[in-house]
Amino acid sequence: MDRYGILLSESFKKDVKKLSEQNKKLVFDKIQIIRNDQRYQTGKVRGRKDLYKTRVNDSIRLFWKYKNDKLIIILRVGHHDIEKQRKLEKI
């Protein structure tokens, strides 16, 4: 049984379409992992107490937050520089 439900944001859905098939698979594998163990390669986003990031591979990061005690919202996915491009400010 999964510990948390997962909700995919529209921004995430757009982001994931830009990834290669191999990277898409890695992203969805990581989503399954954080669904059950959020601590897996996860850290808080600096300056955002409610936003977390998970390392997918050397260059791709997955950004998410808790909706409540039973639901995680997957917000964005992209190369690690997505954080520096201010694309997370909209979240």
* Domain containing residue 67: CATH number: 3.30.2310.20
35 assigned to some structural domain: yes
Q: Are 8 and 18 in contact (CB under 8 A)?
A: no
Average pLDDT of the residues of the chain:
85
Give the side-chain half-sphere CA count within 13 A for 85.
8
Whether 91 is in a domain gets the answer no
pLDDT value at residue 39: 65
In a domain, 70, yes or no: yes
Whether 87 is covered by a domain: the verdict is no
The pTM for the full model equals: 0.84
pLDDT of residue 13: 96
